[in-house]
């Protein structure tokens, strides 16, 4: 049925499955980042977390992390991640060099964990 839902973006979160591929990401290299949440967008078709990461020189980098949609983040809410939370996010970086991460794993200082075993990240 996925083929029938392509344009019904806003009411149909499964649109996230189809609206873009992942060729934009370097899937050969897994990246792990530690940072501080500045904003969390509990939105369709992707939940997005903005977070600051200090590089080795102590400079702040503003990263954006893309996760699944709310329908697939079982148990999550709009306030699951809040400004000031520290997180460890793993995933794949955009090939463009932008500070952009496709997040496949996440742990927060409040104990929130994104698990890919289906416990809270529902398999696609």
Partner 1 sequence: MGFSSTLGLMSPLVSPLTSMSGTVLLWVLLVPVLAAQTLNGARQDTALEPGIPVTDPLVKAKCGTCHPADEHGNMDRISWVRTTPEGWQEAIKKMILEKRVELTPVEARSMVQYLSSSHGLAPEEAKPVMYYPERRVHDEIGVANDYPLAACAKCHAAARLLSWRRSADEWKRLGEEHFAQYKVARNETAMAAVRNAAPLHTPEWTDWSARSHASNLTGRWLVTAHLPGHGRYFGELQVERGATPDEFNTRATLHSINDGSTVIRIGQMLLFSGYAWRGRSHGVAPSNSSTHPDDPGHDAREVLWISPDQTTGEGRWFWGQYQEFGFDVVLRRASPGITLLAVDRLSLKVGAQASSLRVMGENLPTDVNAGEVSVGPGITVRRVISSTSREIVAEVEVSATAVPGKRDITLRGAVLRSALAVYDRVDYVKVTPESSMAAFGDQTYARGYQQFEAIGYQRVPDGKPHTADDLELGPMDASWSMQVFYAVDASGNDKIGNVSPAGLLTPAPRSPGGNFDIWVIATAVNERNQNGRPLAGKGYVVVTIPAYSFDGRRYVRDLDRWIEEGTW
Residues near partner 1, by CB under 8 A: 1, 3-14, 19-20, 24, 41-46, 48, 64, 66, 70-79, 82-83, 94-98, 100, 122
Whether residue 90 contacts residue 30, with contact meaning beta carbons closer than 8 Å, is answered with: yes
Residue 38, phi then psi, degrees to nearest 5: -110, -30
Give the shortest CB-81-to-partner 1 separation in angstroms.
11
Residue carrying the six token digits 């398999």: 123
In whole angstroms, how far apart are CA 122 and each of 14, 71, 74? 12, 8, 7
Q: 112: which 2 tokens?
A: 């929130």
Nearer to partner 1, 41 or 107 (CB): 41
Nearer to partner 1, 37 or 87 (CB): 37
Give the shortest CB-38-to-partner 1 separation in angstroms.
11
Nearer to partner 1, 51 or 100 (CB): 100
């Amino acid at each position: 049925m996925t083929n029938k839902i392509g344009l019904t973006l806003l009411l149909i979160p499964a649109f996230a499955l189809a609206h873009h591929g992942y060729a934009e990401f370097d899937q050969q290299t897994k990246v792990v980042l530690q940072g501080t949440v500045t904003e969390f967008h509990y939105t369709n078709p992707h939940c997005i977390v903005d977070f600051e990461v200090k590089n080795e020189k102590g400079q702040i980098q503003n990263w954006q992390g893309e996760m699944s949609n709310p329908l697939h983040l079982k148990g999550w809410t709009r306030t699951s991640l809040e400004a000031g939370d520290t997180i460890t996010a793993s995933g794949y970086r955009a090939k463009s060099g932008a500070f952009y991460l496709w997040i496949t794993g996440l742990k927060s200082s409040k104990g929130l964990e994104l698990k890919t075993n289906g416990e809270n990240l529902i398999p696609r």
